Amino acid sequence: MDPISPAIVSAGAHAAKATDSFADEAAKAAGSLLTRLFGPSADVIGANWADRLREQNMERLLKKTEKRAKARETKGEDPGIANPRVASQVFASAEYSDSEVVAEYLSGVLASSRDATGTSDAGVAWSTVVSRLSSDQLRLHYLIYASARQRVIQQGFSRSNNAHSIEIVLHFTPLFALAGMTVTAFADAIDGLMREGLIGDGYHYAPTSQLFEKEAARRNTTVEYPHESGLRVSMSVHGIRLFVWGNGAGDKGIDAYIDPSITLAAVDNPLPTVMTMFVKDDVVKTVQPGQEPPTA
């Protein structure tokens, strides 16, 4: 039996138990409570719940993982086999998620855990992080780090760690549209990323006049930002690592983020990126002596 089989068998057994549990008398008696909890969708909690999850969500996850494997094969790399411990945890998370972005990140973690022997279980920690995040948080995380990556690569850092705490500003209008959230949901998502250490402490999204208010008040600085509003946030090493793992290159290390030869993107319908600038140097610039703007 190959190393991945025990995890698949375990996932199948778990689903079968779920099916049986919903068939017993206790589950039938709880039907009204399920209806109250799930509303019109309560019917999927019945006997076909496990089948629906297993056949749709698991199939989607495995297809995405296989696409990542084939992409490596086209580059002459051996995609290897997955670690059963990582696989079982990824499967458990995937079973109950209908979210496309969650499936993308989980498939990335599973693909990253594959090696020649299937012994690396480093992906367990990252699958745990993914399981703690909502689909809104993962979508926003993807947008931030996918958008910032090109600017970071252009900077010519020798290590991805050098991007830690770099303050960036993203054009807010297209970012908010791509996030597809309400204002309240966006606030919850960005706060959740900060709480998990996936961005630095503190963030600000506002009209440009407010976003750089302190810098604009300094005599020896000038602010040049071409958009009406932005999201100002600091990158973190933890956030970069999750992006690398969630896009299938975790085994290549964090410096995959600054390597333009490595594709880091969703395998299906990757989101567009938005204009991203470094707050320091790109937006807020020091005025040379003798060039200070005249005071009012």
**Which one, of 170, 163, 168, lies nearest residue 143 by Cα?**
170
Asked if residue 85 lies in contact with residue 114, where contact means CB atoms within 8 angstroms, the answer is no
Cα 112 from Cα 123, distance rounded (Å): 7
- Give CA angle at 189 (183, 192), nearest 5°: 140
Helix and strand numbers, DSSP H then E, in the chain: 14, 6
Cα 276 from Cα 257, distance rounded (Å): 16
| Encoded amino acid at 86, one letter | V
| Mean pLDDT per 10-residue section of the chain, whose length is 296 residues | 44 46 48 52 51 75 91 90 90 87 96 89 96 97 98 96 96 97 97 98 94 91 95 98 97 97 95 96 81 48
pLDDT of residue 27: 45
The DSSP string of 38-98 is HGGGGGGGSTTHHHHIIIIIIHHHHHHHHHHHHHHHHTT----B--HHHHHHHHHHHHT--
Residue 21 gets the label, from left (phi > 0), alpha (psi -120 to 50) or beta, of alpha
pLDDT of residue 53: 58
User: Which residue(s) pair with 225 in the sheet?
Assistant: none
Q: Which two tokens stand for residue 288?
A: 């040379």
pLDDT of residue 25: 57
**Which one, of 127, 176, 186, lies nearest residue 147 by Cα?**
176
The DSSP string of 90-105 is HHHHHHT---HHHHHH
Task: Write out the H or E segment, with its range, that includes residue 222.
Answer: strand 221-223
Residues in the chain: 296
Strands 284-286 and 221-223: antiparallel
Asked if residue 80 lies in contact with residue 115, where contact means CB atoms within 8 angstroms, the answer is yes
pLDDT of residue 286: 85
Block residue for tokens 């993203």 = 170
pTM for the full predicted model: 0.82
pLDDT of residue 58: 85
